[in-house]
Structure 1
Amino acid sequence: MLEQEFKYYLKNQDELLKKFNGRFIVIKGNKVLGDYSSEIEALSETRKSHEVGTFLIQHCTPGNNAYTETYHSRVVLNV
């Protein structure tokens, strides 16, 4: 779900950064519906006219830190 929207963001990230750097953008299909200063504002405003789960809220920042997470775990081996 929302794969199309995420692919749109990745494909157009450089152009989107020029317009929306640091903002939270709402993407539906291949279109930016709006930009907001916070994720909460983006959600509360967009849900007024679009069903939750039909749009992507993405923090528009350079690189991939806004959409990747790294988890580390420690494994103990008994040899």
Structure 2
Amino acid sequence: MLDKEFKYYLEHQADLVKQYNGKYIVIKDETVIGVYESELKAYVESKKSHAVGTFLIQKVTPGTEAYTQNFYSRVAFQ
């Protein structure tokens, strides 16, 4: 759904980190439409003028930490 926006982030991550490291950016149609200090502020402000589901909120950090999650389980299968 927001593949285009996420791809934009990945392709421009290095430049975005230089400008916005540690901040939350809002991406829509391959354009940064907002920069915020918190994820909540980014969401609240962005939904005022854009439909929810049409924009991506992404924390800007170097590496993959901001968009990668690891899940661990202690389940044993027999």
Q: Percent identity?
A: 55
Q: How many angstroms apart in 2 are the aligned matches of 1:65 and 1:20?
A: 16
Give the TM-score, by structure 2 length.
0.95
Q: What's the C-alpha RMSD, in Å, of the aligned pairs?
A: 0.9
Q: How many angstroms apart in 2 are the aligned matches of 1:34 and 1:26?
A: 5
Give unmatched runs, 5+ long, in structure 2.
none
Query: Partner residue of 2:2?
Result: 2
The residue matched to 1:26 in structure 2 has which SS?
Answer: strand
Q: Number of residues paired by the alignment?
A: 78
Query: Partner residue of 1:68?
Result: 68
Q: How many angstroms apart in 2 are the aligned matches of 1:77 and 1:38?
A: 41
Shift of 1:28: 0.3
Shift of 1:47: 0.6
Deviations 1:31-76 (A, max 9, x none): 0001000000000111111001000000001111110100111232
Give unmatched runs, 5+ long, in structure 1.
none
- Which one has a bigger Cα radius of gyration? 1
The aligned runs of 1:11-30 (5 Å cut-off) are 11-30=11-30
Query: Partner residue of 2:32?
Result: 32
Shift of 1:77: 4.2
Normalized per residue, the structure richer in helix is 2
Q: How many angstroms apart in 1 are the aligned matches of 2:77 and 2:39?
A: 42
